[in-house]
Amino acid sequence: MNLSKNLEAKLERLISSLKNKKVIVAFSGGVDSTLLAFLSKKYAKDTLLVTEHSILYPEEEIELTSKFALKYDISQIILERNPLNDEDFKLNPVNRCYICKKGLYNEILEIRDDFDFDIIFDGSNFDDLQDFRPGLQALKELDIFTPYIEFKINKQEIREICKYYNLDVQSKPSMACFSSRIPYNQVINEKKLNLIREGERFLKQTFNLKQLRVRVHDESLARIEFLKSDLPEILTKENLQKIKNKFKDLGFSYVTIDIEGFRSGSMNEVLFLQEE
């Protein structure tokens, strides 16, 4: 496939920002950071991937990052973190993402200095400016470079560039940390995060799904968001019984399926309602 002239120009500016630099890519294994890792390996002077390993992410995603690094022969550091050691983060305020990003990137800045790298790339994209993303403020304060925002590259364009380079993540669903499944100002703890992890793993494996969310309200209620296109197959008597049995076994008192379906950032909807 060919890129449009506009997107081709954006890509050239991104590539130019990599040349002759020793680059650290904050690498989660999602579409955005995978493309940055690939381009950095291809065009930068040197590349180091730094991946957070914590209770906030599925174990299988961490394994995929290591496979990618091995496939493309890119150095990687797995950064072991426990965000639950931060009492402010655990309280889950509206600026939770700011607190988490600040802690993570302060550690990555230490790695940059220890290994004498020039710059840190973060995969936040231009679409993120349209949502509530307090983590972007932390990136700005710490002078972390966000090339997709700098060059106005949105999520769809990132997928197009991935397809252009034949990267197998081009159609990978968007991913967010498990803490985003818990309503603001409800405490984040290990029990809730494990409920989310186990619930989502069960649903994906049982029904062969790639995208969904298990939102946890006060530890007792599970609100499951499926893609609307998946609902007709999911909403059978037999399947609903399987879901109910599993989630009751996990410890939920109430199990619900959200009729609005999956939408990224649904926990932010209450914030926009408060502004109206």
99 phi/psi in degrees, rounded to 5: -60, -45
pTM of the model: 0.92
Distance of CA 207 to the CA centre of its chain: 22
Angle between helices 31-43 and 59-71 (to 10 degrees): 20
Distance CA(141)–CA(109), nearest Å, equals 12
Q: What is the full per-residue pLDDT of the chain (276 aa) written as tens digits?
A: 789 999 999 999 999 999 999 999 999 999 999 999 999 999 999 999 999 999 999 999 999 999 999 999 999 999 999 999 999 999 999 999 999 999 999 999 999 999 999 999 999 999 999 888 999 999 999 999 999 999 999 999 999 999 999 999 988 998 899 999 999 999 999 999 999 999 999 999 999 999 999 999 998 999 999 999 999 999 999 999 999 999 999 999 999 999 999 987 666 665 544 444
C-alpha angle 87-252-256 in degrees, rounded to nearest 5:
110
Cβ contact 212:262 at 8 Å: yes
- What does the domain layout of the chain look like in residue ranges? 5-164, 178-275
Distance CA(119)–CA(100), nearest Å, equals 20
Cβ contact 119:145 at 8 Å: yes
CATH class of 5-164: alpha beta
